[in-house]
Amino acid sequence: MKYALISDIHANLPALDSVLADIAKRGPDATYHLGDLVGYAPWANEVVARIVEQGIPGVAGNYDSTVATDYKHCGCRYEDARQEELSHLSYEWTRAHVSADTKRALAALPFRIDVRALGGHLSGPTLTLLHGNQTLNTVYVTEDRSDDFLTKMGQGVGAHDGDVVAFGHTHKPWHRVVNGVHFVNTGSVGRPKDGDWRAGYVMLSIGAKGIDAEFVRVEYDIDRAATAILDSTLPHEFAAYLRSGGTSLVAA
Ligand SMILES: [Fe+2]
């Protein structure tokens, strides 16, 4: 079975559409999103509508669950006062611009999805989809986490040897195997932070030969995204941030 996993689109419609076109050419068995559909760019309603119209199931990122519930902040990380200010500006902008339909769609997203690659009538690998970790969608599961941390995460999910736990949230793609459990961070479609501006997603294969996670990067119309940010009342720093692949601010 082949699964396309897309995460952290963050209201970047040109990036999403380029990724969906690339996925359509490859024809996986299913496509899932791993949350954070909105925030930081101006197409929150359009991105959610595209996901809904294409029938792409997925889980709630911290941005989705907080916008849906009018929580007091987005659960985003920041390392200085300016980043904190930008984070709040983006969150308030997004809350002010989402439609009732968008909020309803975000509110309906589950925290976690378990996919049985062989259909569930046979024992076989389980693919678990999360945004952060198994208890909070705000936990950053970074590549430098210890084996012990990932072992506990696998146990918390109920994963066994040969299973896959996939998540996003950090916007940096990676794949590690600990005690036979595959941990796959999908990276980000609309706001990568690994220095590569191109939209990123994962093509995951689960089969007799084992597990393969291919990290795909797709060029998109970044000028359109940057111009739309500059033409909006969102913080203009977000345009340079996209162009730099998430390196123009230390973190956001
Ligand atoms: Fe995110």
List, for residues 190-201, the tens digit of each pLDDT value: 999 999 999 999
Angle (CA) 46 202 4, round 5°: 65
Pairing of strands 199-207, 2-6: antiparallel
CA of 131 to the centre of ligand 1 (A): 9
CA of 177 to the centre of ligand 1 (A): 23
Q: What is the pTM assigned to this prediction?
A: 0.96
Distance CA 155, CA 69 (A): 29
CA of 179 to the centre of ligand 1 (A): 27
Cα 74 to chain centroid, rounded: 15
Residues 6+ apart with CB under 8 A from 120: none
Residues 6+ apart with CB under 8 A from 20: 50, 54
Cα 194 to chain centroid, rounded: 14
Q: Name the residue among 186, 225, 195 with its Cα closest to residue 23.
A: 186
CA of 232 to the centre of ligand 1 (A): 20
CA of 152 to the centre of ligand 1 (A): 23
- Tell the residue number behind the tokens 């929150």, with chain if given: 44
Given a contact cutoff of 8 angstroms between Cβ atoms, the answer to whether 66 and 95 are in contact is no
pLDDT above 70 coverage of the chain, percent? 99
pLDDT above 90 coverage of the chain, percent? 87
Pairing of strands 164-167, 2-6: unpaired
CA of 156 to the centre of ligand 1 (A): 22
Q: Is 228 helix (H, G, I), strand (E, B) or coil?
A: helix
Task: Show pLDDT as tens, one digit a residue, over the chain (252 residues).
Answer: 999 999 999 999 999 999 999 999 999 999 999 999 999 999 999 999 999 999 999 999 999 999 999 988 888 877 788 888 999 999 999 999 999 999 999 999 999 999 999 888 888 899 999 999 999 999 999 999 999 999 999 999 999 999 999 999 999 999 999 999 999 999 999 999 999 999 999 999 998 889 999 999 999 999 999 999 999 999 999 999 999 999 987 543
CA of 123 to the centre of ligand 1 (A): 33
List, for residues 150-195, the tens digit of each pLDDT value: 999 999 999 999 999 999 999 999 999 999 999 999 999 999 999 9
